[in-house]
Structure 1
Amino acid sequence: MNGQVASRMNIAFAHEWLVGYAGSERVLAAMASEFPQAPIFTLVHDPAKLADTPLAGRDITTSFIQRLPGATRKHQRYLPLMPLAIEQLDLRGHEVVVSSSHAVAKGVLTRADQLHISYMHTPIRYAWDLYHDYLEHSGLTRGVRGALARLFLHYIRTWDAASANRVDVYWANSHYVARRIWKTYRREAAVLYPPVAVDRFRADGQRDDFYLTASRLVPYKRVDLIVEAFTQSGRPLVVIGDGSERGRLIQSAGANVTFIGEQPHASLVDHMQRCRAFVYAADEDFGITPVEAQAAGAPVIAWGHGGVCETVVHGETGVLYPHQTSASLNEAVSAFEEGRFVLEAEVIRQQAQRFDAETFRRRYRALLDASLATFRQAGPAEATRATAAAE
């Protein structure tokens, strides 16, 4: 870290659970890498799942949930206990606490002389803006189970709203999430885009005649919409990923759709560097894979909603279609194939470089220094304004 403020920083990190290494864990790793000795507090930790990641070997403290049966394999079953568990983590020995939160991590307890910064990947979506979708997709709209689910989610919303006031400074992973933070908590948030490893990709290869999507095959990713659209059009599509929806998707897909399951990173890079375009249909908070595809010079054809609107430039680095339907997607693919847009690989890659790791580090350092300096001098009331103004 740069600056005298950072050099004197006694910092700790909090994260919901460390049982895999996905987008939020990559952000945590990037933030924590600036402080190799800083401890990380989490509800549940599976060292085997982090063995080959930058988080391996870190000083990690877990909650009482770690000792419950099956905690590392099915931590979701203990969601009712998580608000209590996160409050039991003892962070008293640290001047600065940075919580990496998409569920309950922002609920850690801190004192008035501790600066609590929360990097919000999202407010709890299934309790707030996706509440009715979650109940519907889970079959919980009626009956006793439905009533219990609604009662529980009401409790989660109440706790979540109350714990929002424990945070001094909010950072959001996109302007889209910053708007949801304001809607949910009535708090401003500075935007710190996640780091993307753009240097792992190149954009000078030959394009092949297939489209690509890569995602966990779960309902909210809307891979079903992509499979439906390409089955209708007959265009070749390659699907990378695995998940609960895989069997159903394979049954509904035409012969032109190829499922190749989870792939090593090298295979994902290779497909992104060769595909005709990358296709996306999810409502994501930020969305790392469209940025990775652009780093590989691939045009992105995506639903024009959510974080992707901040990473893909319509008509320059991709095509944003207006409706989350197979018909709207197919219309966008047809427009792309007809050459209505000039999408040059080098321009596409330059867009991705706006989100590279070094850009993240510079912004992170500036925000952290500004937040702590102002907190020390003027207290938490001024820290948010200083953070939002930092560049």
Structure 2
Amino acid sequence: MKVAIVHDWLTTWAGAEKALAELLACFPKAEVFTTVNFLEAENIPCLAGRRIHTSFIQRLPGARKHYRRYLPLMPIAVEQFDLKGFDLILSSSHAVAKGVISDPGSLHVCYCYSPMRYAWDMQHQYLRQSKNDTGWLGGIMRWQLHRLRQWDYISAQRVDHFIAISHYIKRRIEVFYRREAHVVYPPVDVDKFCHDRPREDFYLTASRMVPYKRIDLVIQAFNRTPNRQLVVLGDGPDFASLKSMAGPNVTLLGYQPDSVLVDYLERTRAFVFMAEEDFGILPVEAQAAGAPVIGYGVGGMRETVEEGVTGLLTTEQSVESLLETLEHFEALNDLAKKGEEYSERPFSPSVCRLNAQRFSNDTFKDAIHRFIQERMS
């Protein structure tokens, strides 16, 4: 079987790219198509020695640093890929990859991380954050996003089958594309974590420092309770402003390698995460490391955290709601310690680890293989 895997762009190694790596493990001989590729293949084993096709955007001025500025051209770019002769086209898409034009004799399955948020329900927030919500430039951008929505809907009808990363995204696909989707959760490398190390008396949060991750909210909550210690991992555009607002009980360590993140997850009392996520790999990684999760109870978090068992979810994305949930967590945790064995009580490392194993790499690959085999037969 000749397989093509189409990915939006290869510029960083994040959650979507980790899923891509497992898709490539499912189909070792697959060819890769992407709008731009600026990753060093020798540092990424799954890409080394593999044939990777890029679009004309790869050669445009400034594409390495400013590839997102070429978003209006990306629909045209992916439609130029010649996919004739491939039996299976697997698009790994949160933007334009699903828009390829496939051979009528092939099967096109889209693994969808989300319909484009900036073109659909987050358009107004995107325009405000880019400071383009008013004026003539804002008008042009609204028109471009309008045209992008039209193409996004039309191109979604070319896909034979959608796979969503969560039931939350399944619903978005139904609303924006009017298509049904099967759910296969993204892969998480749970085996790299040790869950039985001694817990220490600090909370942890980690993320890229951008507004929607709501690290500011977490810091504000801990500023109001100086008896609690918070460690923050990650970097990004908001790092300086977040560091300036942090109290003495909040430590921002900036970007750290994966080994440092693993170490802190294995030792933290609980992982705090207040972003609204489509799935949320970090909360699952925290549970794989034996850490319970305290987070915002909307989106993928409702599917990955077992309420009252592997964590607690807030009812609102607010400082007050987070503080109430922290108090509740500590009260339940202290009460459970007195009445049950540590290995069996709610929020225990073993319980958290067991829940995380639902999202393992092997579970993901088995589900993908099974889905495609059923559709190819």
TM bracket, shorter-chain basis: over 0.9
Query: What does residue 298 of structure 1 align with?
Result: 291
1:330 is aligned to 2:334: no
Question: Shift of the alpha carbon at 1:105?
Answer: 0.5
Residues 235-270 of structure 1: CA deviation (Å, up to 9, x unaligned): 211111100110111111111111111111111111
Query: What does residue 140 of structure 2 align with?
Result: 148
Q: Tell me, what secondary structure is at the counterpart of 2:40?
A: helix
Question: Shift of the alpha carbon at 1:22?
Answer: 0.7
Query: What does residue 205 of structure 2 align with?
Result: 213
Query: What does residue 386 of structure 1 align with?
Result: none
**In the alignment, is the contact (CA less than 8 A) between 1:21 and 1:50 conserved in 2?**
no
> Which range moves more in the overlay, 309-318 or 134-143?
134-143
Q: Which residue of 199, 203, 221 maps to 1:229? A: 221
Q: Tell me, what secondary structure is at the counterpart of 1:339?
A: helix
> Which range moves more in the overlay, 49-58 or 35-44?
49-58
Q: Which residue of 26, 35, 42 maps to 2:34? A: 42
The amino acid across from 2:50 in the alignment is: R
Q: Tell me, what secondary structure is at the counterpart of 1:203?
A: coil
Alpha carbons of structure 1 residues 215 and 50: separation in structure 2 relative to 1, 3 Å: farther
Q: Tell me, what secondary structure is at the counterpart of 2:259?
A: helix
Question: Shift of the alpha carbon at 1:19?
Answer: 1.1
**In the alignment, is the contact (CA less than 8 A) between 1:11 and 1:98 conserved in 2?**
yes
Counterpart Cα distance in 1 of 2:9 and 2:47:
12
Question: Shift of the alpha carbon at 1:290?
Answer: 0.3
Query: What does residue 163 of structure 2 align with?
Result: 171
Residue pairs, 1:100-249, within 5 angstroms: 100-234=92-226, 235-249=228-242
> Which range moves more in the overlay, 114-123 or 126-135?
126-135
Provide the aligned C-alpha RMSD in A: 1.2
1:352 is aligned to 2:356: yes
Q: Which residue of 2, 12, 25 maps to 2:4? A: 12
Question: Shift of the alpha carbon at 1:95?
Answer: 1.3
Q: Tell me, what secondary structure is at the counterpart of 2:143?
A: helix
- The TM-score, its normalising length taken from structure 2, stands at 0.94
Q: Tell me, what secondary structure is at the counterpart of 1:167?
A: coil
Alpha carbons of structure 1 residues 50 and 275: separation in structure 2 relative to 1, 3 Å: farther
Counterpart Cα distance in 2 of 1:223 and 1:295:
22
Counterpart Cα distance in 1 of 2:26 and 2:134:
49
Question: Shift of the alpha carbon at 1:49?
Answer: 7.0
Counterpart Cα distance in 1 of 2:347 and 2:169:
28
**In the alignment, is the contact (CA less than 8 A) between 1:277 and 1:301 conserved in 2?**
yes
Counterpart Cα distance in 2 of 1:303 and 1:62:
38
Counterpart Cα distance in 2 of 1:114 and 1:169:
12
| Aligned residue-pair number | 365
The amino acid across from 1:301 in the alignment is: I
Question: Shift of the alpha carbon at 1:365?
Answer: 0.9
**In the alignment, is the contact (CA less than 8 A) between 2:86 and 2:103 conserved in 1?**
no
Counterpart Cα distance in 1 of 2:64 and 2:109:
27
> Which range moves more in the overlay, 96-105 or 146-155?
146-155
Question: Shift of the alpha carbon at 1:231?
Answer: 1.3
1:271 is aligned to 2:269: no
> Which range moves more in the overlay, 128-137 or 79-88?
128-137
**In the alignment, is the contact (CA less than 8 A) between 1:20 and 1:50 conserved in 2?**
no
Query: What does residue 250 of structure 1 align with?
Result: 243
**In the alignment, is the contact (CA less than 8 A) between 1:19 and 1:49 conserved in 2?**
no
Alpha carbons of structure 1 residues 49 and 252: separation in structure 2 relative to 1, 3 Å: farther
**In the alignment, is the contact (CA less than 8 A) between 1:47 and 1:56 conserved in 2?**
no
Query: What does residue 372 of structure 2 align with?
Result: 368
Counterpart Cα distance in 1 of 2:242 and 2:48:
35
**In the alignment, is the contact (CA less than 8 A) between 2:3 and 2:29 conserved in 1?**
no
Query: What does residue 305 of structure 2 align with?
Result: 312
Q: Tell me, what secondary structure is at the counterpart of 1:207?
A: coil
Residues 28-59 of structure 1: CA deviation (Å, up to 9, x unaligned): 11011122221000000013277234223321
Counterpart Cα distance in 2 of 1:270 and 1:25:
23
Counterpart Cα distance in 1 of 2:207 and 2:42:
20
**In the alignment, is the contact (CA less than 8 A) between 1:215 and 1:242 conserved in 2?**
yes
The amino acid across from 2:358 in the alignment is: R
Question: Shift of the alpha carbon at 1:199?
Answer: 0.6
Counterpart Cα distance in 2 of 1:289 and 1:50:
26
Counterpart Cα distance in 2 of 1:102 and 1:197:
21
Query: What does residue 341 of structure 2 align with?
Result: none
The amino acid across from 1:352 in the alignment is: A
Counterpart Cα distance in 1 of 2:157 and 2:44:
36
**In the alignment, is the contact (CA less than 8 A) between 1:21 and 1:53 conserved in 2?**
no
Counterpart Cα distance in 1 of 2:298 and 2:131:
26
Query: What does residue 24 of structure 2 align with?
Result: 32
Query: Among the aligned pairs, what percent are the same residue?
Result: 51
Counterpart Cα distance in 2 of 1:92 and 1:282:
41
Query: What does residue 340 of structure 2 align with?
Result: none
Question: Shift of the alpha carbon at 1:343?
Answer: 1.6
- The TM-score, its normalising length taken from structure 1, stands at 0.91
1:63 is aligned to 2:55: yes
Query: What does residue 389 of structure 1 align with?
Result: none
Question: Shift of the alpha carbon at 1:134?
Answer: 1.5
5+ residue gaps, structure 2: 337-345
